[in-house]
Amino acid sequence: MKRTIIETTIYMLLAVMLPAAIYAEAVFLKDGSIIEGRIVKERGGTMEVRTTGNMIRKLKRSEVLRIVYEEQYRQPCKIMLMNGTLVDGYIVDEDRDRYYVRSKLTSPDEKAIDKKEVQFIERVRIERRRPASRRVYAMPLISMPLSENFKHYNDTGFGILALYSLDDIITNDFSVAAVSGYIHYPGKNGVEFSLNIPILASFKYSFKLYRHFTVAPVLMPGLCLDYIAYTTAANSTYLTGGSFLIGGANAMSRWGIEPLVMAGLESAWSYSE
């Protein structure tokens, strides 16, 4: 609908995706290999794991050594023992009394170290880059128009957005996506309804606030195809001032193309079970 570039309407987008983003599990097998992803099904003596490459891996329970829900096992560390011995390796698991350490992460050979024997542990702070991944998902939205002219003819809109996302392309927390969908606005004051079809690029950066809780500010600039239907032949000046708008003074409908910016906040509660 009619807006200037300076007065581009910003829609407040709130999307809670459960379980779109799920905390990763690491399945340690008895042969030393590690499968990263999430467990999607467990039945009897078998389980299915969706890997980070979006493949389904079927496993027998008898093949599994342990399931780890933390990511610290990837970090190499130095363990200084009370007797002066320095142990280099990876702490892949622990219980109340012991650490289980591998000198090579993908080796099945592990050493159990009593916690009472440990003087201190120094972890090497590194970030392991996850490979870029692709996914397609959808989110519902509520659009709250801010322009006075727009609010005069339209109520709050509802719709859905579909996103083709490229995750972890620069850092582990940055994602871009191609976005489209629709937003339907019930009309008033001579307008039957309005429809927006956005074509946008999405830029998102995720912040982990708690172990399982993440928030991500989102900015979506692009273009929007607008359609408006009137209850009677329109003489209103609404939607007649733009260069791209088509429809005569007495038309029952008009459509146009205009710049659009959407901004919002995604939140995700991640869990494993």
24-33, 69-78, 185-194, 247-256: segment of lowest average pLDDT:
247-256
pLDDT at 221: 93
> 24-68 belongs to which CATH class?
mainly beta
Please indicate whether residue 162 or residue 170 has the higher confidence score (pLDDT). Answer: 162
Which pLDDT band, with edges at 50, 70 and 90, does 180 fall under? very high
Query: Which residues are CB-neighbours of 19 under 8 A, at least 6 positions away?
Result: 270, 271
Query: What does DSSP assign to residue 204?
Result: E
Spatial separation of the C-alpha atoms in residues 206 and 258, rounded to whole Å: 29
- Please report where in the chains the tokens 């099904």 appear, as a residue: 41
Task: Output Rg (C-alpha) for the chain, integer angstroms.
Answer: 27
- Evaluate if residue 251 carries a pLDDT over 90: no
What is the maximal distance between C-alpha atoms in the chain? Answer: 92
State the average pLDDT for the chain: 77
Q: Find the distance separating the first CA and the last CA of the chain, reported in whole Å.
A: 46
pTM: 0.47
Q: Is 148 helix (H, G, I), strand (E, B) or coil?
A: helix
115-153 pLDDT, tens digit per residue, is 999 988 887 654 455 555 677 888 888 887 777 877 888
> Angle at CA 177, nearest 5°, toward 174 and 182?
140
Spatial separation of the C-alpha atoms in residues 22 and 240, rounded to whole Å: 47
- Evaluate if residue 114 carries a pLDDT over 90: yes
CB atoms within 10 A of CB 258: 20
pLDDT at 15: 36
Topology, domain 76-125: SH3 type barrels. (2.30.30)
Strand partners for 84: none
Encoded amino acid at 217, one letter: P
- Evaluate if residue 39 carries a pLDDT over 80: yes
